[in-house]
Amino acid sequence: MSATAVTRGGTPWTPQYVEAINPKHCIGCGRCFKVCPRDVLTLVDRGEDDEIDEDDWDDEDAKALMTVKNAMDCIGCGACGRTCPKDCFSFVAA
């Protein structure tokens, strides 16, 4: 069963929690970080992620990569996904 909430007007609403950020597409622009109200995300240096082959990056000049730091603090507002220019985010209902 999914967690559900209601808007102030009483309309049912299902939070969509951040599940992952696609590291191949992220350009480290920081838009998602700026809009997140819960300090869920953090920017790391590209060099810290050894699992990603540089050839797979959309932007090989990108120096930073957004990652999920505090997944359990996510309220499922979806703002990060809406602001991302590279469609990096995937979400899941609780």
Residues forming contacts to ligand SF4 in the complex (CB under 6 A) are: 18, 21, 26-32, 35-38, 40-41, 66, 74-80, 83-86, 88
Is-contact 34 56, C-beta < 8 A?
A: no
CB of 44 to ligand SF4, least distance (A): 11
Separation between Cα atoms, residue 94 and residue 92, nearest integer Å: 6
CB of 54 to ligand SF4, least distance (A): 16
Is-contact 84 33, C-beta < 8 A?
A: no
Residue number, 38 or 46, with CB nearest to ligand SF4: 38
Residue number, 31 or 46, with CB nearest to ligand SF4: 31
Residue number, 28 or 46, with CB nearest to ligand SF4: 28
Count of other CB atoms within 10 angstroms of residue 84: 20
Using alpha carbons, select from 28, 29, 18 the residue that is nearest to residue 48.
Answer: 28
